[in-house]
């Protein structure tokens, strides 16, 4: 078990500096262009793959850091560069986490490498959970998976929405209901291999922020996948469903395949928000030190200086919550007070607040695309929405600390 420390070790410092250099030299110069184009930045992914940043090996090493800090450190630096491009680089990892959280060792070994492809043939993957009528309320999921005894295949029908890399992915991980009567406990995750008939891309969304990241609907019409594509296997699923029908407690991961994925990824998402907030704060700090009004830099005014002080304080507090949750998750400590949700909630709200105040401090310049803070603010907005809205995070926290079924 890794001991908790606020001091990064030499490997983590080297990792941070390496990724920061890539973010500064490759991601930032391309950020405005790909935000305007609203397309996946394949050339940047190619550059990330060339240096080993976009690869299964990199994320495996980061995820298995015994302190749990390599992932949030990496996420913060990437999203400090640009959130849209960074999300294109890390979007595949949500699908990979879905397999790691629910799959067998054989399934992990078979499918996770295929999600990234090779340096010469870049691939991406998509995790598909949300639906038009089932976002925060995952129990309302309408996508169905039926087992065909005659062929040993699963037949999947439904529509997914808000899927990062949806439709353009080589591998899709889809959450579907196998026993709708059980609600969230009757769901399972499935691998949809590349080229599977019946899967298609629906609407591609034109978004307010993170526009370099592809987000679309995924339509599944009589999609047939082999039995081995059920994550965890049918025997484990049957046992879990039997326990659910008997009314016994199966634990959170057993209850909900989608939540097992989000639970594992929340601190990393919080780290992304910290990166955006830090980037906006740094722009605002430098601007207020050089912007002269009434014969002096505007940072000389308490109203400006105190805002910057609050920015830095909130960013550091958010980072500490993220690091704590990451350490707890890695070392197997239970989130008895919903610490994972705390980290995502506070970091997301911080990013939104910091970027809004960065625009205010830059005045009219902050409202233009000549400065990056308006883009950062647009990007930050989604961090109080996706992978669990701030309201849902508060609900999770309140239920956890009270033990009451708060609605």
Count Cβ atoms below 10 Å from residue 334 Cβ, excluding itself. Answer: 9
d(CA 287, CA 85): 24
Tell me the three state secondary structure of residue 276.
helix
Sign of CA dihedral 282, 344, 14, 30: negative
Helices (H), 201-338: 234-246, 252-255, 257-290, 302-330
Q: Identify whether 47 is a catalytic site residue.
A: no
DSSP 285-315: HHHHHH-EETTEEGGGSHHHHHHHHHHHHHH
Position of tokens 């603010």? 377
DSSP assignment letter at 205: P
Lookup: tokens for 73: 């450190």
d(CA 285, CA 297): 11
Q: Contact 299/305 with Cβ under 8 angstroms?
A: yes
CA 304 distance to own-chain centroid:
33
Cα 177 to Cα 99, 100, 399: the distances in Å are 17, 20, 25
What are 155's strand-pairing partners?
Answer: 146, 224
CB proximity list for 76: less than 8 A, separation 6 or greater: 271, 272, 274, 275, 278, 319
H or E segment and range at residue 201: strand 199-204
d(CA 350, CA 403): 27
Residue tagged active-site, from 263, 349, 374, 387: 387
Q: Contact 189/146 with Cβ under 8 angstroms?
A: no
Q: Contact 126/165 with Cβ under 8 angstroms?
A: yes
**Longest C-alpha distance within the chain, in Å?**
82
Instruction: Give long-range contacts, CB 8 A cutoff, 24+ apart: 398-402.
Output: 399/338, 400/335, 400/336, 400/337, 400/338, 400/341, 401/337, 401/338
Q: Which are the catalytic amino acids?
A: 387
């Amino acid at each position: 078990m890794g001991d908790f420390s606020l001091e990064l070790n030499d490997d983590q410092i080297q990792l941070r500096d390496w990724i920061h250099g890539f973010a500064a030299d490759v991601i930032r110069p391309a950020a405005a262009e790909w935000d305007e184009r609203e397309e996946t930045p394949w050339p940047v992914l190619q550059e990330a793959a060339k240096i080993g940043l976009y690869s299964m090996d990199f994320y495996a090493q980061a995820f298995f850091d015994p302190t749990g800090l390599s992932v949030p450190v990496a996420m913060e630096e990437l999203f400090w560069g640009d959130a849209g491009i960074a999300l294109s680089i890390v979007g595949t990892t949500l699908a990979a986490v879905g397999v790691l959280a629910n799959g067998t060792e054989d399934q992990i070994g078979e499918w996770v490498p295929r999600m990234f492809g090779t340096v010469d043939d870049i691939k991406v993957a998509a995790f598909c959970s949300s639906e038009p009528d089932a976002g925060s309320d995952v129990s309302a999921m309408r996508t169905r998976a039926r087992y065909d005894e005659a062929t040993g295949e699963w037949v999947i029908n439904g529509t997914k929405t808000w899927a990062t890399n949806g439709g353009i992915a080589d591998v899709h991980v889809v959450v579907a209901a196998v026993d709708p009567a059980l609600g969230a406990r009757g769901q399972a995750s499935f691998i949809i291999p590349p080229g599977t008939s019946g899967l298609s891309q629906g609407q591609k969304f034109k978004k307010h922020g993170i526009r370099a990241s592809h987000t679309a609907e995924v339509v599944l019409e009589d999609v047939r996948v082999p039995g081995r594509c059920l994550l965890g296997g049918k025997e484990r699923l049957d046992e879990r469903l039997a326990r659910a029908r008997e009314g016994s407690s199966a634990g959170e991961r057993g209850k909900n395949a989608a939540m097992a994925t989000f639970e594992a990824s929340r601190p990393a998402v919080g780290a992304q928000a910290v990166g955006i907030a830090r980037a906006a704060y740094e722009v605002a700090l430098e601007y207020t030190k050089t912007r002269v009004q009434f014969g002096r830099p505007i940072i000389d005014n308490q109203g400006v200086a105190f805002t910057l002080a609050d920015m830095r304080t909130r960013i550091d507090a958010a980072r500490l919550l993220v690091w704590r949750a990451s350490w707890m998750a890695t070392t197997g400590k239970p989130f008895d007070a919903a610490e994972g949700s705390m980290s995502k909630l506070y970091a997301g709200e911080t990013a939104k607040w910091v970027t809004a105040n960065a625009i205010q401090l830059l005045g009219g310049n902050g409202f233009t695309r000549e400065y990056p803070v308006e883009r950062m603010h647009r990007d930050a907005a989604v961090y109080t929405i996706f992978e669990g809205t701030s309201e849902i995070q508060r609900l999770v926290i309140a239920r956890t600390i009270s033990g009451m079924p708060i609605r």
